Amino acid sequence: MRNDEDANAHKTEAEWDAEIEADFQRVVAAGKAAGRPKRGRRLVAFPWGFLVDVCRQTEGRAALIVAEYVYRRTKVCNSLTVTLPGSELAELGIDRRRKREALAKLEDAGLVRLEQAGIGRSARVTLTWQPS
């Protein structure tokens, strides 16, 4: 114990700063490593009633996938009005044409409202579905 006290007594301010910074970086790195596995996974969840309504009021796999994606985006973005990036839908096999057709079906069913944007811009989609 005495040797540690002697060693600490002779440390310069720069050495103390370096030691504190190294400890801080270790703690930050451990925290980031603990959080990484959670961020890598994407979760899709929605109320059972929403799934039932989409299945009853529309036809086709694309409409169901786009509806689920719209619902997820409203929760992730914390807003009822969202845009739908094509990259995530492309992972699910939904191209721009299928996305447009699916959104039209969902709008006809009264589950969403579309706000057309300018040329080359994503349409804004508002989730209008309400639990019964």
* Stronger pLDDT, 121 or 58, i.e. the higher one: 58
Q: What are phi and psi of 128, to 5 degrees?
A: -105, -5
What is the Cα–Cα distance from 47 to 67, expressed in whole angstroms?
12
Summarize the confidence of residues 88-108 as an average pLDDT.
92
Residues 125/103, Cβ–Cβ less than 8 Å? yes
Q: Which residues of 55-94 are buried (b: 16+ CB within 10 A; e: fewer)?
A: eebbeeebbbbbbbbbbbbbeeeeeeebebeeeebeeeeb
Parallel, antiparallel or unpaired: strands 124-127 and 112-115 = antiparallel
Q: What is the CATH number of the domain that holds 58?
A: 1.10.10.10
- 82 and 102 part of one domain: yes
Beta bridge partners, 99, equal none
- Give residue 121's domain range: 48-127
What total number of domains does the chain contain? 2
The model's pTM is 0.66
Residue labelled with tokens 């114990």: 1
Please report the pLDDT score of residue 37 as a whole number.
Answer: 54
Instruction: With cut-offs at 50, 70 and 90, classify the pLDDT of residue 106.
Output: very high
DSSP-derived secondary structure letter, 17: H
Specify whether 123 is located in the same domain as 95.
yes
Residue 126 has pLDDT above 90, yes or no: yes
pLDDT at 6: 57
Determine, yes or no, domain membership for 132. no
Q: What is the mean pLDDT of the chain?
A: 83
